[in-house]
Amino acid sequence: MGDRTDEDLFAAYVAGDVAAFQILFARYAPLLTRLMLRDVRRRQEAEELVQDTFLHLHRSAGDFRPGAKLRPWLMTIALNLKREHFRRKLRRPEVSLELDGRMDPPAEPGWIAERHDARRQIELALASLPEKHREAIVLHWFAGLSFPEVAEIVGASLSAVKVRAHRGYKLMKSTIQGKV
């Protein structure tokens, strides 16, 4: 059953096969969680967004076009829910809690600290990009989608998505080099 296409599984689910939906969840929940965690720093919030994505997929099962690819549709649902999450947060900003020193993490060995610093620089450079550039890079590089799939998800032409990614990578490089 694991070798069936996403589209076959979704069609089976629509026809009443609950196990098919569970397979789709097992296939995509880890990927969607990683994507959500890139912007939503709390694991619980990321997991809630993934659950909402699959709930929305379930509720809109009748809207799926036969012959279409499921993966881009699922990614579009996830990205739209993530955008709405941030819109809501802007309307209700959270107040951060200051640590009083009692909960400070222990010091790390030098090589781990350097690795964390490099990763942090990449994350900050990625976060500083305009949304269109960041979205193209995250979907292509981190989610492993092809550029045609990214183009379908974001609603842009293939060449526009490639340009966005290229410009995003250049901006990230200059941001990181400027900090070195």
Beta-carbon-side half-sphere exposure of residue 105 (alpha carbons within 13 Å): 4
Q: What is the pLDDT of residues 68-100, one digit of tens each?
A: 899 999 999 998 899 888 888 776 555 555 555
CATH no. of 1-93: 1.10.1740.10
Read off the DSSP letter of residue 92.
S
Q: What average pLDDT score do residues 46-55 get? A: 94
CA distances from 98 to 102, 104, 106 (A): 11, 11, 17
What was the pLDDT predicted at 113?
65
The separation between CA 158 and the C-alpha centre of its own chain, rounded to angstroms, equals 20
Q: What is the pLDDT of residues 3-31, one digit of tens each?
A: 899 999 999 999 999 999 999 999 999 99
Between 179 and 9, name the one with better pLDDT: 9
Give me 48's structure tokens: 């809630």
Give me 13's structure tokens: 């689910």
| Length, in residues, of the chain | 180
Band (41; pLDDT cuts 50, 70, 90): confident
Instruction: Give the span between the Cα atoms of 115 and 56, in whole angstroms.
Output: 37
Residue for token digits 């990763």?
A: 119
CA nearest neighbour of 51 among 36, 69, 41, 65: 36
| DSSP track, 17-55 | -HHHHHHHHHHHHHHHHHHHHHH---HHHHHHHHHHHHH
What was the pLDDT predicted at 180?
46
Between 65 and 102, name the one with better pLDDT: 65
| Per-domain boundaries in the chain | 1-93, 109-180
| Torsion sign across C-alpha atoms 157, 160, 166, 171 | negative
Read off the DSSP letter of residue 61.
G
CA nearest neighbour of 86 among 149, 41, 145: 41
Read off the DSSP letter of residue 141.
I
Between 62 and 55, name the one with better pLDDT: 55
CATH no. of 109-180: 1.10.10.10
Between 113 and 52, name the one with better pLDDT: 52
The pLDDT of residue 36 is above 80: yes
pLDDT mean across residues, the chain: 84
What was the pLDDT predicted at 1?
47
Q: What is the pLDDT of residues 104-149, one digit of tens each?
A: 555 556 666 676 677 778 888 888 889 899 889 988 888 888 899 8
Residue for token digits 């720093």?
A: 41
